Amino acid sequence: MRFHRHLLQTSSFAILLSLAAPCGSANSQVLTGTPGTPGSTTTIPGKQIPPVPPKFGGVIKEKSSESKPWWAPRVVPPKGAPNVLVIMTDDAGFGAPGTFGGVIPTPALDRIAAQGLRYTNFHSTALCSPTRAALITGRNHHSVGVGVVGEISTGYPGYDSIIPADKGTIGTILKANGYATSWYGKNHNTPSYQSSQAGPFEQWPNGMGFEYFYGFVGGDASQWQPNLYRNTTAIYPFEGNPGWNLTTAMADEAIQQMRQLKEIAPDKPFFIYYVPGGTHAPHHPTLEWVEKIGNMHLFDEGWNKLRETIFANQKRLGIMPEHAKLTPWPKELPEWDSLGVLEKKLFIKQADVYGAYLAYTDHEIGRVIQAVEDQGQLDNTLIIYISGDNGASAEGMLNGTPNEFTTFNGVPVPVNAQYLWYPFWGSDKTFPHFAAPWAWAMSTPFKWVKQVPSHFGGTKQGMAISWPGHINDVGGIRRQFHHVIDIVPTILEATGIPQPEMVNGIKQSPIEGVSMMYTWDKASAEAPTRHATQYFEMLGNRAIYSDGWIASTTPVTRPWELSTAPPPDIDAYQWELYDLKADPTQFNDLAAAMPDKVRALRAIFDSEAKKYNVLPLDNTTLLRWNTPRPNLTAGRTVFTYSGELTGVPPSAAPSVLNKSYTITADVDIPEGGGEGMIVTEGGRFGGYGLFLSKGVAGIRSGKPVFLYNLLNLKRTVWSGPELSPGKHTITFDFKSDGPGLGKGGTGVLSVDGKEVDRKSMPHSMPVTFPEDESFDVGRDTRTGVALLEYRYDPPFKFNGKINKLTFKLEPQVAAVAVSKAELGPTQAPDPDPIEEPKP
C-alpha cells in the first residue's frame, strides 16, 4: 500500500509506521497522547534496537508562524511491564542459606521465597564470571566467550572473555525499551585487559546497556577498601572513613538511585542488577555481624555434623525429596573428629566470619527489597534472588588462609601461622577464606564445590522468585531443571518485550535459555521441564544433562589445590552416570551398569560442545593466569610516568613478576623534607612500593625505601639515608635468580648513582599481585604495602615532584612449574600490629 508523503509526515499512523517499518508490523505498538506533542509516548516492536528514528511529522515553512512543531514520542515499555530486580550473591553453596536448609539466617531470601517460589533445581556454570555472562545474555557461557574466568582467558572464541556484539545483554534490551537500567556490585565481565582508564568501555557495564554502574571490577575486592567505580571513574569513599563497608554502601547507593528515579519519573520502570561481593573471599562482614553469628555457635560441632543438620533441614523443608541420599564425605578432606584443638578453634572462627558475611549480605539485600516496598513498588516488581553464582568456594585450600592471594600463588599458610591474624579475622587486616571442608559442607547434600561443573556441589543454586499477583502458588517449591541462561527469557516474557533481531545494526544470535514463567501457576507445579538438555564444562571437567539423566566426568584435580603443575591428560577423565529422578544428589553411579547410556550422553555432549564454542578443552588453571593476551603493555619494556596517576589495573601496568627490572625516579624534594609514595603496585596482601618514609616524630623521615611484600607473609626492605631538598635520582635495580616462577633475586637501592643498600630475597610473587589493588604513581590508594616498619596510612601522597619515573623490564623468564617447597610456605609471617580491628 502506498501513501502520499504529506500524509506520512503528518498522520499519527505515519509515526507508528516510521517506527515499525524497519522491523515489522506496527500492530504491536501502542501510542499514547497526541502524536507529535511533547507528552506522547510509544512502545516499540523491539525487533530492532535502537529503533530507526521516526521522520519529522510536523510542517516546516519559511516562517515559524506558518510551521508546525513535532516531537518524536518517548519510548516506554509495554503497559504493565514490571520493575525487575535481579539479585545474585557470590560463592554461596546450595546448603549455605537458611532458606535452602542451611543454618545461616537469610530472612531476605526467606521473604522472597514466602512471597513467591523456591527453585531447588536451578544451575550455574560453576565459576563466577562465566555464570554472570550467561545470566545477562541468556546464552551459554562459551557462546559469549566466557568459558572460564577472565583472569585465565585464552585466544579462542569460547574463552577470550569478550561478549560478542551479536549477543546483546538484557541491559541493552531493556534500556532500548524504556527501562532505567543499573548495575550494583561485582563486575567480573570486563576483560582484565580492557579495565583501565584507557578503555575501551564497550565491555564495561555502561557499554553493555547499564546506564549506571556502582561497583568493583574483577573477581573479588576488599569490602573495606575496594577497587570501586562509579560508571568508569575510580572513587575512594573509604579514605578517612573508618568503618565504611561496601556491602552497606552499595545498598545505600541502590536505594538512593531507586528513590531518585521514582521521584523524578514515577512511571519509568527500573531494571536493577544487584550483585554484591558476598560471599566470595575476602569474607569481610562488620564486627557487629561477626559477634552476632559467633554468639549463635552455628559451627561449633564441625563440618561433618553441619552436613547432617543441613540435610535434615532440607528434608524437613521439602527442599530435598524423602528418597534423596546424603552423598558421602570425601576421603581427600579431613573428618572433623580427626582435628586438634587449635585447628578446630581456627576453623570455627573462619566459619563464623563466613556465616556473618552471608547474613550481613542478605540483611543489606533486605534493605533494598524493603525500599522497593516503601516506595509502593513491591506489587509491580519482579524479584529474582539467586543464592550464589556457583558452589561454595574451596579456594582457601585445606586450612583456609588469612590472604586469598596465597591460594592464587600456590602458597598454603599453616594453621599456627594463621593464628597471628586470628583476632582480626574478617577485618581489613585480613583477606580471608575458610578451609575447603567448610565449602563441601555448604554444598550439602551434593558432591564437590565451586570450579566443578560435573557435580551439583559446583552448580546447584537455590533461587527464589516473587511477583505479587502473578505467582499463584506462593511459598511453593519447584523442581524443574533450569539454568542461569533461563533468567533473560523469563524477564523478557514477564515484561512483554521480545528478543531483538538487530542491535546497533548487528544481527543477534538466538537466546539459548527458556522462560520459567510456565512454572508459576499452581497447576504447573509438576509440569515437565522445558529445559531438556544442558551441557556443563569448566577447566576440563564436563557433564551433560538430558531428560532427567546426567553423565559427569570424575574430577582429576582438586579445587583446593590450585597448581602450576601440568594437569592430567584431558582423556584421563572417567565418566559417571546418574538417574536424577531416582537419585537427585548424584549418589549412585550407574556408569558401569549402563555403558550404552553413557556413550549416548557423551555423544550429546560432543554435539553441544561443537555448537557452543566449548572446544578446545583445556584443564590447566594457574598455568593460564599469565598467558599472553591483548593488553596495553604487550611488547613494551620501558614505561615512563610523571606527576600523579592512580587506579591503573595490573593489565595496564609494568609487570615486575618473574623477571629482572629497574625502577628509576627523578624527583624534587621540597624544603622541609620529603615523604610519600612514588610508585606502588599491590598493597597489604602483596606488592611493592618505592617511597620516602614519613618517619616517626620526624625521625627517619625522608628516607628512600623500596619494600617488597610477599603475600603479607614476608617483607623485604631496602632503605637509604634521608634526602636533602632538591633534585635526586632514586634507583631500584632487581636481578632475578630465574628462570622459574616465584624466584628470588638481589635488589640494589641507589641514590644519585651511589649504592645505599643491597639485599637478596629468596622468593617473589609467582603468579599475581592482588587483583583488587592497582598501580599508583604519586600516592597509594586502598591499602599500604608496609605494616610495622615504615608503616604509613594511604593515600600517602608524595609531597615533592615526580619529574620522571621510568621502568625498564628485562624479558620474562620461562614459566615452569613451581613446587610448594620452592615457595617456602611454612616460613613465619610478619606479625600484624596488635590493635583491635575496626568494624
Tell me the DSSP string of 204-269.
Answer: SGGGGT-SEEEEEESS---SSS--EEETTEEE-TTTT-TT--HHHHHHHHHHHHHHHHHHH-TT--
What integer pLDDT is reported at residue 29 of this predicted model? 86
What integer pLDDT is reported at residue 502 of this predicted model? 96
Instruction: Tell me what the mean pLDDT of segment 591-615 comes to.
Output: 98
Residue (of 828, 832, 824) closest to 411 by Cα position: 824
pLDDT digits (tens, 9 = 90+) for 420-453: 999 999 999 999 999 999 999 999 999 999 999 9
Residue 823 has pLDDT above 50, yes or no: no
Residue 5 has pLDDT above 50, yes or no: no
Q: Where are the alpha helices (DSSP H) in 280-427?
A: 287-294, 302-317, 341-374, 405-408, 415-418
Burial of 593 (0-12, 13-18, 19+ CB in 10 A): exposed
From 103-112, 628-637, 649-658, the region with the lowest mean pLDDT = 628-637
The crossing angle, in degrees rounded to 10, of helices 107-115 and 341-374 is: 50
Could you give the 3-state DSSP secondary structure of residue 185?
Answer: strand
Residue 362 has pLDDT above 90, yes or no: yes
Instruction: Tell me what the mean pLDDT of segment 557-580 comes to.
Output: 88
Instruction: Tell me what the mean pLDDT of segment 805-825 comes to.
Output: 61
Tell me the DSSP string of 625-672.
Answer: TT-----TTTT--EEEE-S-EEEE-GGGS---TTS-EEEEEEEEEPTT
At residue 39, φ and ψ (nearest 5 deg) are: -90, 0
Query: Cα separation of 62 and 67, whole Å?
Result: 8
Residue 447 C-alpha cell reads as 558432591
Q: Which residue has the higher pLDDT, 359 or 698?
A: 359
At residue 710, φ and ψ (nearest 5 deg) are: -95, 90
Tell me the CA distances in angstroms from 451 to 255, 562, 600, one per residue in order: 33, 11, 25
What integer pLDDT is reported at residue 541 of this predicted model? 96
pLDDT digits (tens, 9 = 90+) for 396-412: 999 999 999 888 888 88
Q: Where are the alpha helices (DSSP H) in 138-176?
A: 170-176
Burial of 472 (0-12, 13-18, 19+ CB in 10 A): exposed
Residues 245 and 223: beta-carbon distance below 8 Å: yes
Torsion angle in degrees (nearest 10) through CA of 40, 46, 49, 52 = -50
Q: Which helix or strand (DSSP H or E) is residue 729 part of? A: strand 726-736
Q: Please provide the distance, in angstroms rounded to a whole number, between the alpha carbons at the two ends of the chain.
A: 71
* Residue with grid cell 561481593, as numbered in its chain: 277
pTM of the predicted protein model: 0.92
SS3 content of the chain, % helix, strand, coil (to 5): 25, 25, 50
Query: Cα separation of 172 and 174, whole Å?
Result: 6
> CB-based contacts of 64: which residues, under 8 Å, 6+ apart?
none
Instruction: Place 818 in a pLDDT band, splitting at 50, 70 and 90.
Output: very low
What integer pLDDT is reported at residue 675 of this predicted model? 95
Residue (of 112, 82, 120, 101) closest to 475 by Cα position: 112
Residue 822 has pLDDT above 70, yes or no: no
Residue (of 44, 254, 271) closest to 172 by Cα position: 271
- Which of 518-524's residues contact partners 24+ apart within 8 Å by CB, and which partners? 519/117, 519/119, 519/478, 519/480, 520/117, 520/465, 520/470, 520/471, 520/472, 520/473, 521/472, 521/473, 522/472, 522/473, 522/476
Instruction: Tell me what the mean pLDDT of segment 392-399 comes to.
Output: 96
Residue (of 174, 167, 373) closest to 272 by Cα position: 174
Instruction: Place 813 in a pLDDT band, splitting at 50, 70 and 90.
Output: low
What integer pLDDT is reported at residue 663 of this predicted model? 98
Residues 771 and 218: beta-carbon distance below 8 Å: yes
Average pLDDT along the chain = 91
Residue 9 has pLDDT above 60, yes or no: no
Residue 584 has pLDDT above 80, yes or no: yes
Query: Cα separation of 230 and 228, whole Å?
Result: 7
Question: What is the separation of C-alpha 447 from the centre of its chain, rounded to a whole number of angstroms?
Answer: 23
Instruction: Tell me what the mean pLDDT of segment 796-819 comes to.
Output: 80
Could you give the 3-state DSSP secondary structure of residue 486?
Answer: helix
pLDDT digits (tens, 9 = 90+) for 677-712: 999 999 999 999 999 998 876 677 899 999 999 999
The percent of residues in the chain predicted with pLDDT above 70, rounded, is 93
Residue 23 has pLDDT above 70, yes or no: no
Residues 170 and 491: beta-carbon distance below 8 Å: yes
Instruction: Place 630 in a pLDDT band, splitting at 50, 70 and 90.
Output: confident
Instruction: Place 817 in a pLDDT band, splitting at 50, 70 and 90.
Output: very low
Could you give the 3-state DSSP secondary structure of residue 406?
Answer: helix
Residue 165 has pLDDT above 50, yes or no: yes
pLDDT digits (tens, 9 = 90+) for 533-561: 999 999 999 999 999 999 999 999 899 98
The percent of residues in the chain predicted with pLDDT above 90, rounded, is 84
Query: Cα separation of 666 and 726, whole Å?
Result: 11
Bond from prior residue into 226 cis (ω within 30 degrees of 0): no
Residue (of 780, 137, 4, 181) closest to 511 by Cα position: 137
* Residue with grid cell 541462561, as numbered in its chain: 485
Query: Cα separation of 256 and 233, whole Å?
Result: 19
Residues 764 and 824: beta-carbon distance below 8 Å: no
pLDDT digits (tens, 9 = 90+) for 725-765: 999 999 999 999 988 889 999 999 999 999 999 999 999 99
Cα atoms in the 13 Å half-sphere on the side-chain side of 348 = 20
Query: Cα separation of 127 and 577, whole Å?
Result: 23
What integer pLDDT is reported at residue 697 of this predicted model? 67
